[in-house]
Amino acid sequence: MSITKLCASIAAVGLLAACGDTAGASSSGVTSTPTDVPSEHPTAAPYPDFAPTDYTYVLRVSCFCADRGAVVVTVQDGEVTTAVSKGSGATAPKYRRLTINDIIHAANDADAEGAAQVTVKWRRGQDHPTSVYIDQDRNMADEEIGYAIRAVQQS
């Protein structure tokens, strides 16, 4: 299996783990709690959707992947229209073509499925997380995936 296909598979596991709700503790006993959450947001999964549908942001995905670096993602009508490498301007691979809601849903799904660890950092007063980290299985190496969200600008 090529590195690109492996990375895409890892991202798919994080994004498509399962659907459902929990109220804090997962079946594995791990609690996911965002830090510095605005009072109107919950303190654990399910995390709320990001309401804007037109915006750009900088995404950094950390995983066992061949390509690295930040991607500038443009979203219009809730769909990714472009995702390009911040350094080279090259088109980003599929697993980096994500809306902020794709990332929030990955955290909610992983938590509902009972991932070994789901960590969401959410600054007070912000309507989106600054980072999401998902470790699907504590006993498996190289399947963890992290997302860092920066420089969100609504259109």
User: In a 3-state reduction of DSSP, which class is residue 82?
Assistant: strand
pLDDT higher than threshold 70 for residue 132: yes
pLDDT tens digit sequence for 15-68: 333 323 333 333 344 444 444 444 555 567 889 999 999 999 999 998 877 667
pLDDT higher than threshold 60 for residue 87: yes
Strand duo 55-62 + 117-121: pairing: unpaired
pLDDT at 140: 77
pLDDT at 14: 39
Tell me what the mean pLDDT of segment 85-95 comes to.
90
b/e per residue 127-137 (b: at least 16 CB within 10 A): bbbbbbbbbbe
Distance (Å, whole) CA 70 – CA 38: 27
pLDDT at 112: 87
pLDDT at 1: 37
Distance (Å, whole) CA 79 – CA 69: 22
Number of domains in the chain: 1
Tell me what the mean pLDDT of segment 114-135 comes to.
91
pLDDT at 22: 31
pLDDT at 21: 30
Are residues 56 and 148 in contact, defined by beta-carbon separation less than 8 angstroms?
no
Domain, as residue range, for 80 = 3-154
Distance (Å, whole) CA 112 – CA 123: 22
